[in-house]
Amino acid sequence: MRKERFLETLDEALLEEGFVKEERREIVEDYQALIEEAVERGEDVEAFIRKLGTMNEILKQLQRSRQKRSSSGEKWIAVSPFVALILFFILGLGFDAWHPGWLSFFLVPMVAILMESRGVEKWLAVSPFLITTVFMLVGTYTGLWDPYWSLYVLIIAFALTTSDNRTIKTMSVVPLLSVVLYIVLFYTQPQWAWWLRLLVFLPVLPLVFFTNVIDVRFQGEKVGVWFVFKQPTFWLGLGAFLLTSALYLGLVWLSGLWHPTWLIFLILPVGGLLYAQVIRKETVHLVAYMPFIALTIFFLVGHFLGGYAYSWLAFLLIPIVAILTDQTDDER
């Protein structure tokens, strides 16, 4: 394999494995320097690349090296479920706010993301949780689900800020302005038809293709759908999303229940974990499934049996399973 091809494949594989941009750039630059030095010292480039092992072996080693967290980060991650639980308890018992107090459990993934990720991408990863929290609070206490659902469009703004390309980074202002304009129009032009207001998001649509979430090339530079489209997992994910959406709409049509039918979408992350575990033979700890199982039990018991005051106990499954399945990972 030629050097350029090797580095390109490495970069794509690192993205697929969830390495953030900063890590990818550093690793690719280091491998480039390593190969160049080998060539300078008389080694054959293709033979040297073969010596480095297969791409899978390289990724496995790199994953292992990044699994080790800083001890202070580990402490925060370990303590976050208990802080979330106490907060949930205070909100529920003290203020009878079991809903939306359950949002405190978002602390767990948010702390883990902030401690484990690097660079601006951590804010992109944490943004769905932040936005859902604001959306649920505003929706619950004011009933203004519309226009504040539009806050989700801000995820695209966060995604654009992670681009290396300055022009694309600057374009993050477009989704931001669209959201502001949508909310302003909601209050100032209530006579407008809902679909007319939606037109403000038209300029955002093409920008989706410049996010790092779905990758394209711009001026010869990789900026974010192009090679993701090449990955079978992308098509699998898209197919699963469309099927789940169809199933959701079908169930809503039959039952008339938007909530908690949306729980069906949890099939997607759980399916992703199963795919990694069964098809890609990756190690997935049982505890990774627990937030989804706990959330499902919490809403089903809370909604159908009127037991939100008790159903929160389902979240105890997360630390309990973590403790019961905790073992020394001798591969580290």
Q: Contacts from 167-171 at CB under 8 Å and sequence distance 24+? A: 168/210, 168/218, 168/223, 168/224, 171/207, 171/210
Cβ at position 113, least distance to another protein in Å? 18
Buried b (16+ CB within 10 A) or exposed e, 210-247: bbbbbbbebeeebbbbebbeeeeebeebeeeeeebeee
| Binder of another protein out of 36, 46, 96, 326 (CB under 8 A) | 36
Cβ at position 147, least distance to another protein in Å? 44
Kindly state whether residue 111 participates in binding another protein, applying the rule CB under 8 A.
no
| Binder of another protein out of 20, 58, 107, 183 (CB under 8 A) | 58
Determine the Cα–Cα distance for residues 112 and 298; give it in Å rounded to an integer: 22
Kindly state whether residue 250 participates in binding another protein, applying the rule CB under 8 A.
no
Kindly state whether residue 61 participates in binding another protein, applying the rule CB under 8 A.
yes
Kindly state whether residue 53 participates in binding another protein, applying the rule CB under 8 A.
yes
**Span of 64-72, 259-267, 280-288, 301-309 interacting with another protein by CB under 8 A:** 64-72
Token digits of residue 79: 């303590």
Cβ at position 70, least distance to another protein in Å? 8
Kindly state whether residue 330 participates in binding another protein, applying the rule CB under 8 A.
yes
Specify the residue, 66 or 222, whose C-beta has the smaller distance to another protein: 66
H helices then E strands: how many in the chain?
20, 2
| Binder of another protein out of 52, 87, 208, 264 (CB under 8 A) | 52
Q: Per-residue string for binding with another protein, 12-31, x by CB under 8 A?
A: ---------------x--xx
Spatial CB neighbours of 13, under 8 Å, sequence gap ≥ 6: 55, 59
* Peptide bond before residue 269 is cis, with ω within 30 degrees of 0: no
202 closest CA partner among 171, 225, 178, 233: 178
| Binder of another protein out of 33, 93, 305, 309 (CB under 8 A) | 33
Residue labelled with tokens 């992308």 = 234
Cβ contact 308:99 at 8 Å: yes
**Span of 13-21, 49-57, 124-132, 136-144 interacting with another protein by CB under 8 A:** 49-57
Cβ at position 323, least distance to another protein in Å? 24
Q: Contact residues for another protein (CB under 8 A)?
A: 27, 30-31, 33-34, 36-38, 40-41, 51-53, 57-58, 61-62, 64-66, 68, 70, 330-331
